Amino acid sequence: MKKIQLLLAFAFSALTIQAQQDIYLQINHKLGSANFAYNQTATNNLSNSFNLQRLEYYISEITLKYDGGQDTTLSTYILVNASIPTNVLLGNFNITNIESITFGTGVDAAVNNGDPDQWPMSHALAPKSPSMHWGWAAGYRFAAFEGMTGASMTTGWQIHALGNRNYNTQVISTPGFTSGTSTTIELNADYTQAMNGITINGNLFNHGETGEAAMLLNSFNTSVFSARAV
């Protein structure tokens, strides 16, 4: 009997160890079908040509769903810079099969209006240069887009989108890609989709919560992200 109990305990322990996974979030930065690059000309759905010279945004309220509907919400905040590869270790979890990831573009309301100086300098929410914080009343810039437009790409434009009213979460179904004890949730992010319906010209200078800023964040929640096909 003791031998059987020991064997059962060993088998259970082996299964538990096997289910421990390092979970990563990887974002493939895109402009249409091309890999993202600063100063690369792209076109939105209004046939407006533009390039980007700054593209930063926050991701927060990450929730992993796995193994038949179990879920875990993380306290992780990510400041994405589209010019830098994004592959973030979310943690080590007792997970066998990822089913979906939920996240918000921006900073959730519970944290958005806090003091950035409270965070260690290495934290995503600490003061940054160029700044990602708009001030105590409005909180963080959820997304900062800056670039050029016009026939010779010499006319500047900017959208800095913010505001608790514009914060929403989205769910993307994906099993991720598993190799050994690591699973990578791999998303494509097409930033031309963020500019859908926005007239990009020399008059486009919106730092706020309405108009083009609200449109950009809405597109982030509906059109920018997709799971990389398995």
pLDDT band at 16, cuts 50/70/90?
very low
* CB atoms closer than 10 angstroms to residue 114: 14
Which of 181, 176, 70, 86 is closest to 124 using CA atoms?
86
3-state secondary structure (DSSP) of residue 157: strand
Write out pLDDT tens, residues 178-208.
Answer: 999 999 999 999 999 999 999 999 999 999 9
- 6: confidence class by pLDDT, cuts 50, 70, 90: very low
At 43, the pLDDT band (50, 70, 90 cuts) reads: very high
pTM for this model (two decimals): 0.91
Look at residue 137 in the predicted model and tell me its pLDDT. 86
Q: In this predicted structure, what is the pLDDT of residue 136?
A: 81
**Quick check: 8 pLDDT over 60?**
no
For 36, the 3-state DSSP assignment is coil
